[in-house]
Amino acid sequence: MENFNLFWEELMSNKLVESAIVIIANVILYSIIHAIVMRGEKKVSGKKLGRSRTYISIILSIIRYVFIILTILTVLQVNGVDVTSIMAGLGLIGVIIGLAVQDALKDIIRGFSIISDRYYSVGDVIKYNNEQEGKVVEIGLRSTKLKSITNGCTVTVANRLIEQAEQCANATSIIVPMPYDLKVAQAEAVVADIVEEIKKDESVTDAENLGITDLLDSSISYLITIKTSAENRRKVRRSALRTALLVLEKHHVSVPYPQMDVHAKK
């Protein structure tokens, strides 16, 4: 027993072991808090889910940084470093650090702005840089993670770089061209059939014929709007165009195209 006590005292006098205990304890505590927060998220449903995920994402990000800082300070204190003097000295080098982390501060400020002004939430599909579209999977203090709609890759974008974010609508549309030699009633019946076929797609919640949208040189344009998730807009639109061609083919209606009559003098 005496040997065990001596071994334990010697072990606890080792700063490395003490530091490891501090780190492990903080990791366990962070894991418990993380689990509690995530359990609270599961109780949220409906329209508040996306906003809830956004707030939870930012809260966990803050907690993670706080735990990292506290762990480092505690380990330094355990190893005999005067943390108080370090904290006092931070004021002297604050300006230097501020200049070095300008971009990080911009990201953090922009991150809070995104949350407070509700630019977008986790689960939304946004368009950024005027062309890239992605689903928001995580909003952090410094960056936003987006899952690209085109290739499925996850892209991490610094918050300061998302100057303009356009939230994509849960709808898309297609134009169906009809020949002039087809009577209006017949054309509308064909378009109605196209709408019904589009509705059979599992990703489509509704579809509607908005009527004639343009009179072109070679065709009459009918506009069909399709309601779906923003994430599935491109896929649904491609499928709807294919459906339109199949229905036109079924009704023996040729897709109009520009034609030119050439008259030659003899």
- Decide if 161 is inside a domain: yes
**Residue whose tokens read 């892209």:** 155
Max avg pLDDT among 155-164, 237-246, 248-257: 237-246
Residue 208 above 90 pLDDT?
Answer: yes
pLDDT the model gives residue 60? 73
The mean pLDDT of 230-236, rounded to a whole number, is 88
Q: What is the model's pLDDT at position 246? A: 94
Residues 180/138, Cβ–Cβ less than 8 Å: no
Report the pLDDT value the prediction gives residue 96, as an integer from 0 to 100. 47
Instruction: Give the pLDDT confidence score for residue 211 in this predicted structure.
Output: 92
Question: Span 241-255, mean pLDDT?
Answer: 92
pLDDT band of residue 240 (cuts 50, 70, 90) is very high
Average pLDDT over residues 192-198: 95
Contacts 24+ apart (CB under 8 A), 71-80: 71/22, 71/23, 71/26, 74/22, 74/26, 75/19, 75/22, 75/23, 78/15, 78/18, 78/19, 78/22, 79/15, 79/19, 80/15
Does one domain contain both 188 and 158?
A: no
What CATH number did the domain enclosing 145 receive?
A: 2.30.30.60
Question: pLDDT per residue over 104-128, tens digit each?
Answer: 667 777 777 777 777 788 888 888 7
pTM of this structure = 0.56
Spatial neighbors of 28 by CB under 8 A, at least 6 apart, are: none
Identify whether residues 180 and 163 lie together within a single domain: no
pLDDT reported for residue 86? 61
Query: Same domain, yes or no, for 13 and 65?
Result: yes
Give a yes or no: residue 96 inside a domain: no
Question: Is residue 222 one of the residues assigned to a domain?
Answer: yes
CA-based nearest residue to 138, from 120, 151, 162, 160: 120
DSSP character at residue 221: E
* Count of residues in the chain: 266
Q: What range does the domain containing 226 cover?
A: 171-250
Q: Across the strands, what pairs with 16?
A: none
* Domains held by the chain: number: 3
pLDDT at 258: 67
Q: Report the C-alpha gap between 123 and 57 in whole angstroms.
A: 12
- DSSP SS3 for 157: strand
Contact 255, 245 (CB under 8 A): yes
Q: Say if residue 144 is in the same domain as residue 185.
A: no
Please provide the distance, in angstroms rounded to a whole number, between the alpha carbons at the two ends of the chain: 122
Q: What percent of the chain has pLDDT over 70?
A: 73
Task: Please report whether residue 134 resides in a domain.
Answer: yes
